């Protein structure tokens, strides 16, 4: 059996104790999972101490792989080690080492000793592929670790916080929660089913004005992300009603409930969307601009107005006008990946319509920034400082994937198949500037579109 060794070392500008704690907290596995090959936790016991186990399902290409790992060594602030109990390798020993440089810096080293199956044929066919894959994955993991820890260190003196969040199972919520947990924050999640109190779940039913908050409990912040998916299906009258009700009712319920608490939270972050501005062509807009006059604009306006009870109660309230969030796990990029990977991608209509995008990491980073920066209230645009046209997005994605993009989806086809929804989401042009974020000093991880796509798709 041929033994292979892979190592990745990085310097992190944080004390070794903080870096070790980050890895030991719930959410670290999810934060370290590459978005292009996401993992699903089947079960887990313990954290990273000896005897802890985790069973996962990994998406490595088209075929899911089950992985059972067990932790076999633990030395606080020095190392922890896990081995493969069951999985695709003949042998897998992963040692996470931490070297203290001084009180402000340390070295993180991931060392993997592995053997491929079907030796010697396995080595001949797979060795180069596996080495390339490990380099890709751990480049992502280390860059994410470095960036996340830097952000949490910056706000360390202001936390940890107890945060109530809705929309936890969505694309944004499922990314934000692990990020906040690895920062040491305590999360409470709103659910519509019978809650599991041990997991910090709280029952709510916006349609029946029910929110089971204990008035004696202290909550530092509320992040409200839930709402009916706008980008799926035709906008029938029933669909439009669900879109409005899912936002207005839920937001009003939360705002009224927290405003009446004995100790209200200090901050309420409510999701909205750049659809607030409507179709603007090439005009560059920011938070000072007024609402558009189409359906989405009206939805966003009513959505934001539904926070009034919290605003009147003196709770710092911000409307997160979120742009097109880029993640291969879902949303616009998730839908584009298959046709572009197959070489049949292309621009939509003229391709001149602006798509104000933001990477998933900057989305959660901007939310974290708004959570702590007391100067932020009212509207805040969550978009990159460099909006792109649909044609620019098409060309950059094709370049990153090394695929052609010669096709054009006709405007008539969008209007025929998607109707009003297509006109207001796919064909609409909204060129948005993140003035509040830049003026309050938010530092974007991925301000450049090509750089963001390479990071998200593992093409660095």
Q: Are residues 134 and 172 in the same domain?
A: no
Residue after which a domain boundary falls, among 90, 123, 154 = 154
| Residues 148, 172 within the same domain | no
As for how many domains the chain has, the answer is: 2
pLDDT band at 39; cut points 50, 70, 90: confident
- pLDDT at site 244: 93
Report how far residue 354's alpha carbon sits from residue 430's, in angstroms, rounded to the nearest whole number: 5
Under the banding of pLDDT at 50, 70 and 90, the label for residue 138 is very high
Those residues with Cβ within 8 angstroms of residue 346's Cβ, 6 or more apart along the chain or in another chain: 394, 405, 406, 407, 408, 409
pLDDT at residue 26 greater than cutoff 60: yes
Residues 295 and 430 in one domain: yes
The pLDDT tens digits of the residues spanning 268-296 come to 999 999 999 999 999 999 999 999 999 99
When comparing pLDDT for 382 and 212, which is higher?
A: 382
Task: Reduce the secondary structure of 287-315 to three states and give it as a string.
Answer: CCCCCCCCHHHHHHHHHHHCCHHHHHCCC
Neighbouring C-beta atoms of residue 332, cutoff 10 Å: 17
Q: What is the CATH number of the domain that holds 83?
A: 3.30.530.20
CATH number (domain holding residue 382): 3.40.50.720
Confidence check: pLDDT of 200 > 60: yes
Kindly report the backbone phi and psi dihedral angles of residue 239, in degrees, each rounded to the nearest multiple of 5, phi listed first. -65, -45
The sign of the dihedral angle between the CA atoms of 435, 437, 441, 447 is negative
pLDDT tier, 62 (very low <50, low <70, confident <90, very high otherwise):
low
Tell me: the pLDDT tens digits for 406-435? 999 999 999 888 888 889 889 999 999 999
**Is 165 found in the same domain as 225?**
yes
Is 147's pLDDT higher than 70?
yes
Q: Is the dihedral of CA 437, 438, 440, 444 positive or negative?
A: positive
How far the first Cα of the chain sits from its last, in Å, is 32
Average pLDDT along the chain: 93
**164 and 21, same domain (yes or no):** no
pLDDT of the residue at 124: 66
* Domain hosting residue 21, numbered range: 4-154
Residues 148 and 187 in one domain: no
Q: What is the pLDDT of residue 58?
A: 82
If asked whether residues 188 and 131 sit together in one domain, one would say no
Shared domain for 150 and 252, answered yes or no, is no
Measured between alpha carbons, how far is 104 from 163 in angstroms, rounded to an integer?
Answer: 28
Q: pLDDT tens digits, residue range 355-402?
A: 999 999 999 999 999 999 999 999 999 999 999 999 999 999 999 999
- The residue out of 154, 177, 212 marking a domain boundary is 154
Task: Indicate whether 237 pLDDT > 60.
Answer: yes
User: Does residue 291 sit in the same domain as residue 440?
Assistant: yes
Last residue of a domain, one of 154, 179, 202: 154
Q: Which distant-in-sequence residues (6+ apart) come within 8 Å of 70 by Cβ?
A: 51, 52, 53, 82, 83, 85
Residues 299 and 176 in one domain: yes
Q: What is the pLDDT of residue 60?
A: 64
209 and 236 together in one domain: yes
Domain identity same for 344 and 229? yes
């Amino acid at each position: 059996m041929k033994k292979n060794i892979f190592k990745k070392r990085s310097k992190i500008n944080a004390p070794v104790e903080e870096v070790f704690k980050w890895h030991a907290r719930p959410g670290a596995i999810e934060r370290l999972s590459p978005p292009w090959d996401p993992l699903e936790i089947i079960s887990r016991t313990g954290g990273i101490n000896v005897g802890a186990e985790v069973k996962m399902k990994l998406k490595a290409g088209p075929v899911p792989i089950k992985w059972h790992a067990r932790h076999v060594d633990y030395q606080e602030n020095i190392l922890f080690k896990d081995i493969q109990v069951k999985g695709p390798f003949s042998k897998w020993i992963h040692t996470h080492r931490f070297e203290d440089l001084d009180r402000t810096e340390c070295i993180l080293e991931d060392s993997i000793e592995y053997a491929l199956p079907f030796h010697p044929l396995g080595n001949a066919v797979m060795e180069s592929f596996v080495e390339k894959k490990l380099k890709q994955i751990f480049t992502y993991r280390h860059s994410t670790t470095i960036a996340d820890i830097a952000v949490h260190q910056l706000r360390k003196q202001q936390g940890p916080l107890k945060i109530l969040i809705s929309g936890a199972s969505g694309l944004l919520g499922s990314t934000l929660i692990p990020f906040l947990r690895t920062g040491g924050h305590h999360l409470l999640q709103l659910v519509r089913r019978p809650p599991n109190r041990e997991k910090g779940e709280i029952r709510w039913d916006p349609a029946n004005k029910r929110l089971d908050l204990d008035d004696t409990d202290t909550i530092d912040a509320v992040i409200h992300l839930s709402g009916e998916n706008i980008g799926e299906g035709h906008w029938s009258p029933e669909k439009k009603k669900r879109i409005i009700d899912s936002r207005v009712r839920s937001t009003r319920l939360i705002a009224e409930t927290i405003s009446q608490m004995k100790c209200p939270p200090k901050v309420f972050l409510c999701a909205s969307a750049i659809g607030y501005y409507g179709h603007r062509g090439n005009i560059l807009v920011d938070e000072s601009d007024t609402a558009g006059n189409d359906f989405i604009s009206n939805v966003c306006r009513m959505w934001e107005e539904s926070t009034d009870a919290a605003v009147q109660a003196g709770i710092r309230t911000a409307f997160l006008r979120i742009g097109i969030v880029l993640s291969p796990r879902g949303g616009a990029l998730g839908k584009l990946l298959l046709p572009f990977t197959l070489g049949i991608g292309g621009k939509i209509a003229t391709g001149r319509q602006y798509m104000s995008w933001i990477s998933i990491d900057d989305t959660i980073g901007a939310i974290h920034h708004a959570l702590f920066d007391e100067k932020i209230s009212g509207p805040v645009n969550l978009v990159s400082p460099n909006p792109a046209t649909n044609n620019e997005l098409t060309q950059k994605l094709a370049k990153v994937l090394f695929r052609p993009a010669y096709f054009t989806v006709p405007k008539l086809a969008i209007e025929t198949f998607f109707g009003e929804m297509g006109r207001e989401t796919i064909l609409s042009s909204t060129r948005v500037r993140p003035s509040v974020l830049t003026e309050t000093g938010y530092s974007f991880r991925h301000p450049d579109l090509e750089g963001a796509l390479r990071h998200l798709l593992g093409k660095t």
